[in-house]
Chain A
Amino acid sequence: MEIVNLAVLPEVTSAGVAIKAIIILAIISAVAGFGTFIERKVLAFMQRRLGPMHVGPYGLLQIAADGIKLFTKEDIVPQNANKLIFKIAPSITAATAFIALAAVPVFPDFTIPEWIPLLGGVFVPSIAADVNVGILFILGMMAAGLYGPLLAGMAQANKWGIIGSARTAVQFLSYEVVTGLSMLAPIMLVGSLSLVDFNNYQDGGFTSWMIWQQPVAFVLFLIAGFAETNRTPFDLLEHEAEIISGFATEYSGMRWGMFFIGEYANMITISVILAVVFMGGYNDLGFMAGWFIVVFKIAFFFFLMLWVRASWPHIRPDQLMWLSWKILMPVAVVNIVITGIVMMI
């Protein structure tokens, strides 16, 4: 069956992969910038404020103003900091976020129409790098991304930074187990680690979505995903009210901006994983085309993160550890055992 499919599909050329990589980089960094604007507007709406209004219509040009500010701001490196590590840290966050996106299928395969000059007829695959172990690769890369905050906090010779990086380690060691274990039950059902197989497993319409078979895994992964992207309620690393700005205290200008591009790219990655693994992926739904509906699913999860930020307070680090190790991990293990028993029967 698979061999037949492979024969029908056009060959994946390096030009196609390069185009896909450029699409990912361009769209995601643009969306990440736009995401900051959306976040401020949504939070303002939920808190009965107006949000940014002065630059451009409805404050739309605020992104451009912020960009100019970030790029032209003086780049300060503290005197006693470990300068090399201090400069490397932001690029770790941004780079790993985009490397993780390389293995994410966002849109279905498509071929560029023949009438477009130069690139006509090039086949663009749905994934830039179709590794067989896609889901593990993405989670591993996002985990490696936490080295950015960790190194930033330790390199800057600032007490708030040290506390921020200690919290990074705490947060990583808490949620990482839950992410892996909650994802294990869907992996057992599908029998593959490839995100394309996850998508094809759910091609039977609305009722075949993974969320109906694995509601517990969905909730667990959603909670772990919030911790993975450092979103409120688990916004421990740079908890403004307690530790100034945590790992980002000494950063300014574009180095600071790279942390946030990485964070928003990670939010999009988690939204895509939730959409592809649990919510039917980019399969057609009724009369709506797959690429169209998947954008809505991703946007919904992105909105959910902002919604939660507006509704929930921060929690303390010890509460996060308690939640992860004493509640979420046992529930995830029980979920795996029950899934295994049901599959064997």
Chain B
Amino acid sequence: MTQQVEKREKYDQYLADFETFKKSANGHTWLNEIRTTGLSTFNATGFPTATRGNEEWRFTNVGPIARKAFTYPFKVSADSVTKEQLKAIAPWDDKWTTLVFVDGRFDENLSSPAIQKNGVTVSNLDAALDSEKGLIEQHLGRYVESDKNGFTAVNTAFLRDGALVKIADNTEDTPPVHLLFVSSERSEPFVAYPRSLVVVGKNSKATLMESYISLTENGYFTDGVAEIVLQDGAQVDHFRLMREAAQAYHITTTQVHQSKDSTFNSTSFARGSSIARNQIHVALDGPGAACTLKGLYLTDGSEHIDNNINIDHLKPHTNSDLFFKGILAGKSKAVFSGRVIVHKDAQKVLANQSDKNLILSENARINTKPMLLIYADDVKCAHGATAGAVSDDVIFYMLSRGLDMETATRYLIQGFAHEVIDGIPLDGFRDYMDTYFVESLPAYTFQMKRPGRN
């Protein structure tokens, strides 16, 4: 009972902030309606704190998030973050169009100039509310499931400063777009609501990066939603970096909607944080649509990461390939939940799913659940999962070739990870990942007891 009361109080913080927020935010009626709906949904559902009997959240306890009071950052000081700071830790290239959001709020000075020409728009949502009203109204919040998920609902309630990327039909030469979400040093725990809407027109190509980085060691909460729409024949290369503080909470949903013959290629890289959950939901809603989702996660300490991937094959002749790898050290915990659904009459589907884990310490823990739900008969679906340490034979071989234990370990881990990293087609991002991955490797060799050897 006491917990119930406590929880209500924390939610009150969100409700109170919303009242203040409503007054300060841009007041289009239709947008306000979306926000209010979001809030009332959140009011009804709250956060999914129950883990028992709650299949979706069974292995991830969000109680700590629900119990803490996170405030909405109404004031953002103009110069709390400098460009140099960002370049030092985030992937950066001056040729990219970079939009910087500090604590969920758009920062014009740090960002590249907004683009608004030839049917291509890359700007913050707030600035484009008038010019792109039709597009926003048509797509915003239309794909993401917000009626069941409290996190998405509250993000929708506080919708303001998101990113808008629109690529007109038959456009191939847009520069890579980088959405950079930064959390700054603040005195009190705060919550940021990054929101993006990406609409790629027919037969167009786009490269999109999302980075979540942190300049603070304090705890904060990132509650993000991205909606990516691919129209007929569109192709999107998507990269996602999660480099949050170890104390941070991070729950984000990427909702992808694909039409006929579109292709979505995504690579996501995640370091663990206190509680991190990366939800990628793809709806393959047109014949010939295909997606490839790759991921690498690396956890240490008492971090927790949850990769929750849903792929819906709604139409025939759709393909999906899901390939995730994890490296677990310390007392960390990783959860992988892949759900591939082949809906009724979605024949001629190819779906592959795989999750491989390298466990480096005795106390690390992995829960993996690669599900296949198939309601059509003419399909080829497969999934696989592995978990384990590096085999003694392999280490022995390397030692016998004159490598010391530490180098051998390093090579093996890197070899394991590079299957994902090497596949990144965008040079700037791959180079960054190369360096960053080596930096973030846990600084130790295989420390656990190895049978038959000390």
Q: Is chain B a partner of chain A in the same complex?
A: no
